Structure 1
């Protein structure tokens, strides 16, 4: 009998209920081994029998039906095909692998996030340090500006303009001198930056005879500095001049390097 005919004949239901002859049972069992469709149909009938009420059981008394039903329940609860067992073991193995991978990924993600937070913290600390440095610089510049304004606005300070000389006619400077206190300041913003190894030196001059007295070296000639320098007190002067000298200054002015000069 062909598999389709066997499935549609109703014999498989009788096989499940155990009402076939021994020869018929053997024939159905061989067909089930030969045809997966037949085996699947037998399994489907068995599951349906388990779920049926005994009032709907065909061909059998309620007692026999319940007996067969219990046998089928035991069969399906105890007998697990080898393929299903292997699949179950594989599933647990795959779940274990997946859990391990997820754990590793979680640890990696945690490490990455921790590293990102550490980098962010380091960056914030660096930015904070830069901000503090900038704030300190601004405060220093503000103090210098206030000091410069106080010098310029002080009516007791005499402002002496120093004009550019032959070496650089565009150069200029100012000396703020308080004759009463003898305190003097030099505004050197109009001077070019000195070459490396050179400094500007300020001289208080007596003109007849020419007697120069060094009152200071302008060593901190940087862009951040407002270029207003405090120099030594001046008791008496008829003029002021600024020369370019070797680093550390000179005992006498180098007249060939006279950048600015102005009379009181």
Structure 2
């Protein structure tokens, strides 16, 4: 398991932002329990995102409440008095007919009057209680605040995505510094630095045209690799660097599959290396080299 490559893949940032699939989420949580380095990086990423969110959070504008209530009309409603209610009702009984014998009819002792608006529809105004208006106003206020909150969440998510992008760029820059961000300058510096031993690895029968140079600091045991020519690794495969110390192969790390134009920083080796070699292994590496898959090798002169 190449822990550093897993950390640099960006999946931890996606996990913190909540953009991973359920399977990836389970994978990250499992890896963080197995590998303390991944758990530490995950906690550091969560802390960085939380700090960024707190630093860039936007509180609701102070004028929001006043502007909302200014648009509301809370005028009290006047009740309709009994006199107005009586005017809306016509309670007179008319004599229907006095031609029907045997049926007593109401007698109107007053002079008959013609009601001109008898067929007009009487409109009744419905009175809305004050508390109902207040509830509607509160609902409108809540809806507007919810809308404002949604906008803020969208902006916050956009800020998180921007932060994730910036973090990826920073990681790329850091990786570039580790692997030789300025390729020509780093390569020239390694060739001219007397503390580094240059080991030329020539192509083996598996790939005669391949050529790779290793730079070994014999005081610190740091190792860098410059790939001049090497076939692209097939899917599911990755190149692995080895040193031979006391007749035994020592793993010095996996080559980035995007090795073109880079000076790759590898793991530190053990003192006393007599040779360097590169084999093609399954992605992530193996504990011992597959000799049939050796592509280049070079002795330490």
Q: TM-score, length-normalised on structure 1?
A: 0.47
Higher normalized helix content (fraction of residues): 1
Q: TM-score, length-normalised on structure 2?
A: 0.43
